[in-house]
Amino acid sequence: MNNYEYIIAALPVLQPDFRGSLDSGAVIDEIRSQLSARDNSVLDMLLKGWDPDSLDEDFYRKAAASGSPFIRNYFAYDLQLRNAKVTWLNKALQRPEGEDIVSFGPEDFDDLQKVNSILDTPDILGRERGLDDILWQKIDDLTVMDVFDLDAILGFAAKLKIVDRWLKLDEAAGRELFHKLVKEIKENYTI
């Protein structure tokens, strides 16, 4: 188990010329089948973070205590990004400051100005795309030195969830993100 090189080398099975919808669940299942139980539990933590009902203070505390650097850093950033969105919405909707904020983790958010600029645009779809682009870049930043390890797989899985989201929202935009992911894999993970 945990032959990360093999798993990562197999990821380009995701072909850029696919037709129809992407079955991200099948891709995740294939990855899971090659991971140890311990690594699958780390992947579970990542995937749980894509379930809005799970994102409470307890979840973020568990993520912060994770032995995985990717999980710790990704969810610290995710929390800051979500709190920035809620703060912006509170202001836009004239709700009390601090309402619905998960007040755990780092207070300073380096990308706050970028996030606010994106949120200030009138195009709702453009906002979502911009926020996902920031998240995509953060994933790249977190995995830049990870080539054949679990963090590279987790980064791929997080990007796959972004692509899957866009396929469900907008097929053309999702297809574009999917092509970007496949291109990055081919460029960065060739053996």
Q: What is the pTM of this model?
A: 0.83
- How far apart, in whole angstroms, are the C-alpha atoms of residue 84 and residue 86? 6
Specify the higher pLDDT residue, 10 or 52.
Answer: 52
Summarised one tens digit per residue, pLDDT across range 41-66 is 999 999 999 998 998 999 999 999 99
With a CB cutoff of 8 Å and minimum separation 6, the contacts of 50 are 161
Summarised one tens digit per residue, pLDDT across range 101-134 is 888 766 789 999 999 999 999 888 888 889 999 9
Summarised one tens digit per residue, pLDDT across range 155-187 is 999 988 888 877 776 656 666 666 666 666 666
